[in-house]
Amino acid sequence: MKNTAAKPPIIRLQNVSKRFIKSLDVAAKIAQKLGANIREEVVHAVDNVSLSIAQGEVVGLAGESGCGKSTLGRMVAGILPLSEGTILYKGKDVAQLPPEEFKQFSLNIQMIFQDPFASLNPRKRVRNIIGNAPLVHGIAKRSELDEYLDKVMLRCGLDPTFKRRSPHQFSGGQRQRIGIARALAVNPEFIVCDEAVAALDVSIQSQILNLLADLQEQFQLTYLFIAHDLNVVEHLSDRVAVMYLGKIVEIAPSIALYKAPLHPYTQALLSAVPIPNPAIQRVGRIILKGDVPSPIDPPPGCSFHPRCLFARDVCSKREPEFREIQDKHFVACFFAGQLSLDK
């Protein structure tokens, strides 16, 4: 694990929230005017999240599908506006940056998307997909663009002679390399990797993960690495944050979290991770009860209490404080580390 303790945060999230409002259709508006008790539905996608990421650090963000990971990543990348809260970039509020500084922020924070088939424009050739941004922002001159693109493509394991091909002529793994090259082409400091290997075969996943690790070490990049596969998160991350229903419920150094998770939800997630050895049987698999509550109507108190095997009365009445239980190990649970299935 890299030592990033002394480095200042490049990104700091302070009480960040994102809500999506589902507007009423015409029939619902008419019914509302006639006296029906119908209201617009509000989806609490991200709820009061605070997180700091140091320069050169890789922070993994894990959780079930629909917990708000991608929404949080898109807010960090500047793609989605915040409903509440503040994002600080090198100590400055992103929302208050002057135009020139915001332009530089937009270049320094890049994103690699989940679907390598949908994230590339099928009408453009690779040369344009990777080269447009460096050309527009003056990173490369038009006369030197081909040479610049050759270097970027080689770094990402792509044959430079393919730059005049279209996306449909590449495999899924090659397309994701194009997406990585597009992000890398503007010399970013911070990359949001949003389920960057989820759509790929297992054999290709390892190649892309190794590429991301090599690029991170070579260029001292900072990653917010989003995934629902905890094995993938463990492979790359210095610290891991676990999300549930729009909230971060636990964050700790990767080794500490995988060795001794303290939140019941994290314990359940890790108990479901397959062991890649058929001769070894997992002991103590935790089966959660019920389904994930709707983000339209989240439960009171601790959002996890309807499914928690250890829930007590206080869990449904008060929201637990996000507190440091061990060194750099933060958990939002009244009974973190006190309960086990054996009790």
Q: What CATH number is attached to the domain comprising 58? A: 3.40.50.300
Q: Is the pLDDT of residue 81 over 60?
A: yes
314 domain residue, yes or no: no
Q: Are 184 and 178 in contact (CB under 8 A)?
A: no
pLDDT at position 342 = 47
Q: Is the pLDDT of residue 282 over 90?
A: no
267 domain residue, yes or no: no
User: Could you give the C-alpha distances from 250 to 96, 138, 264, 285, in angstroms and in order?
Assistant: 30, 42, 10, 20
pLDDT at position 343 = 42
pTM: 0.90
pLDDT in tens, 185-233: 999 999 999 999 888 888 889 999 999 999 999 999 999 999 988 888 9
pLDDT (mean) for 310-324: 93
pLDDT (mean) for 163-171: 94
109 domain residue, yes or no: yes
Summarize the chain as % helix, strand, coil (round to 5).
35, 20, 45
273 domain residue, yes or no: no
pLDDT at position 273 = 81
pLDDT at position 86 = 97
Query: Edge-to-edge, what's the strand order for the sheet holding 92-93?
Result: 41-54, 9-22, 84-89, 92-93
> What type of residue sits at position 143?
S
Q: Which domain holds residue 211?
A: 9-261
Number of domains in the chain: 1
Q: Is the pLDDT of residue 97 over 60?
A: yes
Which secondary-structure segment (H or E) carries 18? strand 9-22
Of the candidates 259, 204, 215, 263, the one whose C-alpha atom is nearest the C-alpha of residue 58 is 215
166 domain residue, yes or no: yes
143 domain residue, yes or no: yes
Q: Is the pLDDT of residue 1 over 70?
A: no
pLDDT at position 67 = 93
pLDDT at position 201 = 86
Q: How many residues does the chain have?
A: 343
Residue with tokens 């009061």: 48
Q: Is the pLDDT of residue 328 over 60?
A: yes
pLDDT (mean) for 286-313: 91
Which of 87-96, 174-183, 234-243, 270-279 is least confident?
270-279
pLDDT at position 192 = 97
Q: Is the pLDDT of residue 6 over 70?
A: no
CA 206 – CA 228 distance, rounded (Å): 16
306 domain residue, yes or no: no
Q: Is the pLDDT of residue 15 over 60?
A: yes
340 domain residue, yes or no: no
Q: 210-213: long-range contacts (C-beta < 8 A, 24 or more apart)? A: 211/156, 211/157, 211/177, 211/180, 212/180, 212/236
